Amino acid sequence: MHTILKIPFDKCIVEKDRRGAALGPDAIEKELKDFFQFEGLSKNIKFVEIEEKDDFEKLHKEVEAEATKAYAKSNLVMGLGGDHSVSYGLIKAFAKKFPKKSGLIYFDAHFDCQDDFLPPTHEDILKAAVKKGFFKPENIFVIGVRNYTEKELGFVQKNKIKFMLVNDFSSKEITNFAKNYDDIYFNLDIDAIDPAFAPGTGWPEPLGLHPKDVLDIILQLKDKIKLLDIVEVSPPKDVNNMTSRLAAKFLAEFLANKAGKAFVW
């Protein structure tokens, strides 16, 4: 039985007009259940919604606790955000479950290394993961970056965090990185995808990745991925549910391929 944690929280986004990711988990679940291949998979999937909606620190503790509880029953946990800050509790649970030979593959249009808030906001979650020691810098690969501050770039370069700009995308380089690890945390901020395919997000950045390239990586690494979460899907910003459905498709194909029941790829 695999658990999908729904984390409907977006209050770390200070600009209220950019909020909406709190509605993402419900929208993705709805689209996921609309895929025919999910019918045969659903009996092995349990949805758990995080109850805390306001207090930042309590939210992270609940997310970590629920993920830890899920890991007691399975080696795979999935998360649906929510703004990117919700991944912090998942990161903590993953780091405790897989303390050795684990890596973080981090798809994002941004470095998320801006400030030093703890618990972190969506703008500094990766920085917090490094500074708190949940991942060693050399075990992190950031992919899809195309907008960042000098401060963020300085932190990344100082810590020698591996990253790949959109123009340098190479699936071979990513899979070669993954060969070094037994267990992978695959973290996908939907803004890594080009907004032509995923317009429903609070911080869309032009000239992003193609969904097929991201899905190929997910499927190639399906046996190593022990935590997969998708964040920053914002239904109020979406067009014809494109983004919610794309996020659901990533999950559906991942689960179907792991179960040997893929229909498309």
Q: What is the pLDDT of residue 243?
A: 98
Mean predicted confidence (pLDDT) in 107-131: 85
Average pLDDT, the chain: 93
- Residue 261 main-chain phi, psi, to 5 deg: -125, 35
Mean predicted confidence (pLDDT) in 32-57: 89
Q: What is the pLDDT of residue 150?
A: 95
Q: How far is CA 204 from CA 13, 18, 58, 208, 243, in A?
A: 14, 10, 29, 9, 12
Q: How confident is the model at residue 117 (pLDDT cuts 50, 70, 90)?
A: confident
Q: What is the pLDDT of residue 144?
A: 96
pLDDT digits (tens, 9 = 90+) for 66-83: 999 999 999 999 999 999
Comparing 61 with 15, the larger pLDDT belongs to 61
Q: How far is CA 262 from CA 56, 217, 224, 244, 248, in A?
A: 38, 15, 18, 20, 14
Please tell me the distance from the alpha carbon of residue 245 to that of residue 169, in angstroms, as a whole number: 24
Q: What b-and-e string marks burial along 121-142, b requiring 16 or more CB atoms within 10 Å of the CB?
A: bbbbbbbbbbbeebbebebbbb
Helices 24-32 and 242-258 cross at an angle (nearest 10°) of: 60
Q: How many CB atoms lie within 10 A of CB 119?
A: 17
pLDDT digits (tens, 9 = 90+) for 80-99: 999 999 999 999 999 999 99
Class of domain 2-258: alpha beta
Q: What is the pLDDT of residue 263?
A: 58
Mean predicted confidence (pLDDT) in 151-178: 95
Mean predicted confidence (pLDDT) in 214-224: 97
CB 231 within 8 A of CB 87: yes
Domain residue ranges in the chain:
2-258
Q: What is the pLDDT of residue 264?
A: 56
Q: What is the pLDDT of residue 256?
A: 93
Helix and strand tally (H, E) in the chain?
9, 8
